[in-house]
Amino acid sequence: MGNQIKVGVVGSAVFAPRNPERFFLEEALHAATQAALRDAGITIEDIDGIVVASCDQQDGRAIAIMMASGSVGGVGRDLMSTPSCGEHAFVLGALRVRSGIFRTQLVLSWNPMETADLEEVQRLATDPYYHRKLPQDDLASHALQAVAIEAKVPGAREAAFSVVETNRRHGREAYPEYAEAPVQRVHIEGGRMLRYPINEGMVTPPAFGVVAMVLASDDWIAEHKSPSPAWIQGMGWATEPAFIGDRDLSTAPSLRSATEQAYKEAGVSIDNPKFDLAEVSDTTPYQQLMALDALGLCPREQWSTAVAAGRFAREGDMPVNLSGGSLTFNPLFASGLMRIAEAANQTRGKAGAHQKIGVKTAVAHGSSGQAMHYNTVVVFGHQPRENAK
């Protein structure tokens, strides 16, 4: 990163009430904003700009950013919106600080669940001539991906069941109030089939949630003596072709590309990456397995043995999704930003009940869209890149 401005995460918050029907979305956004600011030890007056990621279709309203602007403190403050996914809002916020134009950014994403038909909303994002009438919603695309993986990798289904079991065991410790999905293997394997080969026990329904993060430049952090920031040591992002028929769904080339970008910037070897833990997208367990492969954490031919040996469990040598991931709590549109926030919190030593002691480096992966259409990778360290050991 050379003499480039360094960027650190100094605050974060997740607002996910058990009774979301009692809250207007504006109230939830304000609550998450204020909680993230408190975590950073600042007020909204210290924020130079704001980036939000929202989806008009899922919000069930037009130009959702207009509704959100007041709640997040955007009045009289520079405000940008990206409709692609929560992890892209994080990248945009970090780049805005890195540009030197801003010293601080507030980043938010949410999943309000206010649309009457989520599957129909997802179909609207597909090719209108061929895929929309299949119907090709997100779960159908994830199922096609799972079929492709099972055909290429022996033992992938058994490994997928073990991933669900491990992540939900983590989730019972991290977020017991949301850990309602089955953790027993017999219930995971015996769930009602949704889209073959994905059954009801292998996924978690979308939930209401808001994720907020505060980013700041190295000079601002030094000036305010901000304690234990999570420094962004590398970032990468890439996109798959829009037409799902043009893709080999058993691979994730865009994730590999994003990984190479992030690792190169962070000075991490893609052949032998060393991290204390990882937070990766796991809308389905197959996606987590693909992420482990593309991130260089576990080649696909070792999935079965590594999962069976408990390598990705809390007590293993490469803990993955100590938060429980989306298989425990799934704020859909904001799930990628939540993975990033969880990795940052582990690096800051502020992950709460699921904190791993002594985390110095962590990697986060956010994925969204049909069959992992968008992929983003962020490497965190407890020191800026130039001082990392």
Same structural domain, 248 and 345: yes
Beta bridge partners of 80: 51
Task: Give the residue, 102 or 177, on which the prediction is more confident.
Answer: 102
Same structural domain, 63 and 190: no
pLDDT of 163: 97
For residue 205, the SS3 value is: coil
Instruction: For the chain, give the mean pLDDT.
Output: 92
Q: What is the CATH number of the domain that holds 320?
A: 3.40.47.10
Per-residue confidence at 129, pLDDT binned at 50, 70, 90?
confident
Q: Is the pLDDT of residue 386 over 80?
A: no
Over residues 366-375, mean pLDDT = 93
Last residue of some domain: 191, 224, 257? 224
The 10s digit of each residue's pLDDT in 4-33 is: 899 999 999 999 887 878 888 899 999 999
Range of the domain at 100: 7-117+206-224
Q: How far apart are CA 302 and CA 1, in angstroms?
A: 33
Same structural domain, 113 and 126: no
* Contact (CB, 8 A) for 333 and 109: yes
The 10s digit of each residue's pLDDT in 97-112 is: 999 999 999 999 998 7
The 10s digit of each residue's pLDDT in 262-283 is: 999 999 999 999 999 999 999 9
Same structural domain, 15 and 134: no
| Number of domains present in the structure of the chain | 2
Least Cα distance to 140 among 203, 194, 78, 61 occurs for: 194
pLDDT of 220: 98
Same structural domain, 85 and 124: no
Same structural domain, 268 and 128: yes
Per-residue confidence at 180, pLDDT binned at 50, 70, 90?
confident
Q: Is 254 contained in some domain?
A: yes
Per-residue confidence at 360, pLDDT binned at 50, 70, 90?
very high
Please, what is the end-to-end C-alpha distance for the chain in angstroms? 15
Last residue of some domain: 192, 224, 256? 224
Last residue of some domain: 190, 224, 258? 224
pLDDT of 1: 41
pLDDT of 387: 54
Over residues 282-298, mean pLDDT = 98
Q: Is 317 contained in some domain?
A: yes
* Contact (CB, 8 A) for 170 and 322: yes
Q: Is 387 contained in some domain?
A: no
Same structural domain, 278 and 173: yes
Same structural domain, 149 and 94: no
pLDDT of 389: 42
Per-residue confidence at 73, pLDDT binned at 50, 70, 90?
very high
Q: Is the pLDDT of residue 347 over 80?
A: yes
Q: Is 258 contained in some domain?
A: yes
Same structural domain, 92 and 123: no
The 10s digit of each residue's pLDDT in 18-72 is: 787 888 889 999 999 999 999 999 999 999 999 999 877 777 777 778 888 899 9
Q: Is 2 contained in some domain?
A: no
Same structural domain, 130 and 108: no
Over residues 139-164, mean pLDDT = 96
Q: Is 388 contained in some domain?
A: no
The 10s digit of each residue's pLDDT in 302-333 is: 999 999 999 999 999 999 999 999 999 999 89
Q: Is 101 contained in some domain?
A: yes
Task: Give the residue, 202 or 245, on which the prediction is more confident.
Answer: 202
Same structural domain, 60 and 170: no
Task: Give the residue, 349 or 2, on which the prediction is more confident.
Answer: 349
Same structural domain, 96 and 139: no
Task: Give the residue, 180 or 69, on which the prediction is more confident.
Answer: 69
| Cβ burial, residue 3 (10 Å; 0-12/13-18/19+) | exposed
Per-residue confidence at 2, pLDDT binned at 50, 70, 90?
very low
Least Cα distance to 327 among 208, 166, 197 occurs for: 166
Q: Is 389 contained in some domain?
A: no
pLDDT of 19: 83
Which DSSP symbol is given to 85? -
Q: How far apart are CA 87 and CA 365, in angstroms?
A: 9
